[in-house]
Structure 1
Amino acid sequence: MKEFGKIILVDDDPTTVMLHKRLLNNMDVAQEILSFTDPYMASWYLQEKYSITPTTANPDLVLLDLEMPGMNGF
Structure 2
Amino acid sequence: MTREQAITEARNAAGRAKTLAQEVESAALSSDPNRRADGEQRAAAGALWADTSRAYSALAAVLPEPEPETTDA
What TM-score, normalized to structure 2?
Answer: 0.33
The structure richer in helix per residue is 2
Greater RCO, 1 or 2 (C-alpha within 8 Å, sep 6+) = 2
Report the structure number with the largest CA radius of gyration. Answer: 2
Higher strand share: 1
